[in-house]
Structure 1
Amino acid sequence: MTKGKQILFYSTLSVVGIYFLFLGLSNAKGFLAPFLTAIILALVVLPLSRKMERNHINRTYASLINTLLLFLLSLGFLVLLSLQVRSFINDWPKIEETMTPKVEQFKNFVFDHTPMTKNDLEQSDSGSGIPFVGSGSNRGKQALGFFSKSIGFIGTYLLTLIYIFFLLNYRKRFKEFLLRLFPDEKKKQVKEVVRKSAEVAQDYLLGKLILIGLLAVVYSIGLGFSGVSNFILVSIIAALLTLIPYVGNIIGLSLAMAFGYLTSGEMGVLIGVLITFTVSQFLESYVLQPYVVGDKVDLHPFTVIVVVVLGGALWGVIGMILAIPVMAIVAVIFQHIPPLQPFGFLFSRKKSSD
């Protein structure tokens, strides 16, 4: 086989392999997404579990306590979120009353300055699928779909907690399994890779959680003074969205502007929201991010963007959230395997020799 044919053959083989890899990852979302989430969350509470075990608490009990702690924290967040959503629903008549004149003004502007007519708008509205609005049969189907998705979410949620317990309780067994896959002369290097992989995920996620809490407080103060209704809900969602790099901040700002303007209809609220997010982004970029999170993840900014986009394309929001910690672990592994070190250099922020 000539050199050109070899290049063509291996290039084609690589493209086909990558295609089937991502196809398999997409199809395995139901298993891999909760399992990877459990691994990341288990790494977050691992230091606390170790501290309990050093204080003579049985490993099984320590693992169970930490799993229950994560359950209670997540349950508390869901309860707070549901209360805020309920408050928003109760304010819906006020929102309709405030926004109806403005919507009519916008429609008139569109009719006067674009070729669109009222008939076009009515046809568009009749074909839109708004949840629980329409014929009785459609409402029944939508309610059944919502119920099925809720059951699926609860099942995945509980399965993730079960994974966390077993990962914490049997972590030494899993570590021993990894060590047995390699010869004795490689075991020291494997231990170092496992240690660094766990550390990079722990440091990044713990720093991110602290950052989210601080941002939620800053957002709440600013949006509360700005007069945004349901500002606690908006602040929590906007802070959590920072888990998604770059995109999350834009979505959070859009949500805050929508909630604030929909409820009040006042331009002063929009100005307050813009000031709040401008100040918050300054604090996050120049104060909170460097000191709270710092350089916990050695990933190039371009790599971050690519893996976040790929994570979103494969698994949606959960894929975008898991993309950075998973990629950080992959980069650590690549940097310690000689044949893959060029990829580790490509993914990292290390400067080139020239």
Structure 2
Amino acid sequence: MGSPPPAPPPNAFQFVWRNPWVRAAVFLLVAYLAYQLAGEVHTVLVDFLVAFLIAYLANPLLNWLQRGRVKRGLGVFFVVLLFFGLFALVGLLLVTVSGQLIMLFNKLPDQIGTLGDILDRMTAWLTERGVGGLTNAREQIIKGAQDYATNLGDNLVPLLRDALNSTGTLFNSVVQIGGVVGQVVLILLLSIYLMADYSRVNATLLGIFPRPWQPRALEFSGLIGTAVGGYVRGQLLIALFIGVFVWLGLTLIGVPSAAAIGFIAGAFNIVPYLGPIIGATPAILLALTMPNVLLTVILVIAVFVIANQIEGNFLSPYILSRTTDLHPVTVLVAILVGVSLLGFVGALLAVPLVALGKLALQKYYYPSRLYSEGP
């Protein structure tokens, strides 16, 4: 048998493309052009991403309904009704919570003044027993706390008050803007279409990639679903539990503004270590003004400790173990970096992106020859 014919020499394009620096420059140029294009159409792009996120979060429910012999279209109708119901419920809750937050922030300076009276009695009691040097420390603590509470109220109360119109409807002034209404309608229509044809849309997006890349792209989309989708769903469930638990617990104790404090506790629960402190601080300050101060403070602390223990020992390991499994310090650093880069949006995106990066390292980098043998 004769030897196979020699391969034809590479043409000029193939010869240049073999250079890794040329490929890197082309990829960077394409990424830059894509970034510029995204900046031009960012409004439409954001609308599509929000609609796709809604469809993505609703898809497990739609699949469950389909397994129960409910047609996809009817399931989408149920999901839309559920969405409107939740939207109305959240609006009513935000009205109540915003009003309670205004009252809470207005009360904080007075509550800290009450704390000062308690510290005065404690300082006098300790001074009588030979413990000195407490007066200056007491004054610095109270002054700092009062300044913090006053600044917090001055900054947030006007915003919350402006968000409520004369009928008590939250964000009504924003909804009246025609452009925002049109954007909401567009997102709703896009999400309905994406929910109805979710599998076809996924197949279309997958078809954009070259055929050899499609298995890897499909595998990577599964990682995104695990890291991002699972994390978002899990955190929403955990935040809902924390908020409701704290609200009910403080209501039973008789602490005022229980709904507002529950909202704060649930919203900041994503922040490790600091979240429970942020939620518990206003509750403890309000408890200091109630009868049976010591017992009330102990009960308030117990509510937050029990909620934190249930979340840390049962909910998070069960709900998030298959999604992120990140160390709390990693979560805290990711949130701080995200806030410094993109503000509130960065805080929301930081942990899912870090979780996705961790899963990508475990899936592709650690098993690779580059990791085991080196470059």
TM tier, shorter chain? 0.5 to 0.7
For 1:80, the equivalent position in structure 2 comes to 93
Find the counterpart in structure 2 of residue 6 from structure 1: none
Give 5+ residue unaligned stretches, structure 1. 1-9, 134-138, 345-352
Give 1:291-306 correspondences, 5 Å limit: 291-299=318-326, 301=328, 303-306=330-333
Matches within 5 A, 1:49-128: 49-54=62-67, 57=70, 59-86=72-99, 95=107, 99=111, 102=114
Say yes or no: does 1:191 pair with 2:218. Answer: yes
**8 Å contact 1:40–1:201 — kept in the other structure?**
no
CA distance in 1, matches of 2:252, 2:339: 34
Partner amino acid, structure 1, of 2:259: I
The answer for the alignment partner of 2:60 in structure 1 is 47
> 2:302 is aligned with what amino acid?
I
In 2, the alpha carbon distance for the partners of 1:244 and 1:31 equals: 31
| Counterparts of residues 117-266 of structure 1 (less than 5 Å) | 161-261=188-288, 266=293
Secondary structure at the counterpart of residue 323 of structure 1:
helix
Percent identity, aligned pairs only, is 22
Partner of 1:272: 299
Q: 1:181 to 1:66 in 2, by over 3 A?
A: same
Asked whether the equivalents of residues 271 and 331 of structure 2 are also in contact (C-alpha less than 8 Å), the reply is no
Counterpart position of 2:13? none
Question: Per the alignment, do residues 229 and 35 of structure 1 end up closer, same or farther by CA in structure 2, a change over 3 Å counting?
Answer: farther
Cα drift, residue 83 of structure 1: 2.5
1:51 aligned partner, one-letter code: W
Q: Is the 8 A contact 2:284 2:297 kept in 1?
A: yes
8 Å Cα contact 1:26-1:315 kept in structure 2:
no
Greater Cα radius of gyration, structure 1 or 2: 2
- Aligned-partner residue type, residue 56 of structure 2: L
Cα deviation, residue 189, structure 1:
2.4
Instruction: Provide the TM-score with structure 2 as the length reference.
Output: 0.60
Aligned 8 A contact 1:98 1:264 in 2: no
The Cα of 1:325 is off from its aligned counterpart by 2.7
Q: Deviations over 1:23-58 (max 9, x none)?
A: 999999877766555444432221111233455655
Q: How many residue pairs are counted as aligned between the two chains?
A: 312
Q: Deviations over 1:166-213 (max 9, x none)?
A: 432343343233322333233222222223322443433333333233
Residues 77-100 of structure 1: per-residue CA shift (max 9 Å, x gap): 22123124445667999x599659
**AA in 2 matched with 1:67:** V
- Amino acid corresponding to residue 287 of structure 1 in structure 2: F
Secondary structure at 1:291 match in 2: helix
| Letter paired with 2:232 | L
Specify whether residues 306 and 171 from structure 1 end up closer, same or farther in structure 2 by C-alpha distance, changes over 3 A only: farther
The 2-side partners of 1:251 and 1:194 are apart by 36
CA contact (8 A) 2:112 2:285 kept: no
Structure 2 vs 1, CA of residues 332 and 223 (structure 1 numbering), >3 Å: closer, same or farther? same
Q: Are the equivalent residues in 2 in contact too, given 1:33–1:315 (CA < 8 A)?
A: no
Q: 1:189 to 1:224 in 2, by over 3 A?
A: same
Equivalent position amino acid for 2:241 in 1: L
Rounded Cα–Cα distance in structure 2 between residues aligned with 1:284 and 1:73: 24
Q: What is the alpha-carbon root mean square deviation over aligned residues?
A: 5.3
Distance 1:185 1:246 in 2: 45
Question: CA separation in 2, counterparts of 1:201 and 1:105?
Answer: 48
In structure 2, relative to structure 1, the CA distance for the partners of 1:91 and 1:129 (3 Å cut) is closer
CA offset at residue 309 of structure 1?
2.0
**Is structure 2 residue 315 aligned with structure 1 residue 288?**
yes
The answer to whether structure 1 residue 310 and structure 2 residue 323 are counterparts is no
Using the TM superposition, give the Cα deviation of residue 305 of structure 1 relative to its aligned residue in structure 2, in angstroms. 3.1
**Counterpart Cα distance in 2 of 1:299 and 1:101:** 41
Partners of 2:210 and 2:284 in 1: how far apart? 58
The one-letter code matched in structure 1 to 2:236 is: L
2:350 is the alignment partner of 1:323: yes
Match for 1:62: what amino acid?
G
Considering Cα pairs closer than 8 Å and 6+ residues apart, tell me whether 1 or 2 has the greater RCO.
Answer: 1
Q: Note if contact 2:335-2:350 (Cα within 8 Å) is conserved in structure 1.
A: yes
**Structure 1: distance between partners of 2:350 and 2:245:** 26
Q: Which moved more, 1:43-52 or 1:56-65?
A: 56-65
Cα distance in structure 2, aligned partners of 1:298 and 1:92: 36
CA distance in 2, matches of 1:333, 1:131: 43
- In structure 1, distance between residues paired with 2:44 and 2:201: 18
Aligned residues of 1:42 and 1:164 also touching (Cα < 8 A) = yes
Q: For the residues of structure 1 that align with 2:330 and 2:215, how far apart are their CA atoms?
A: 29
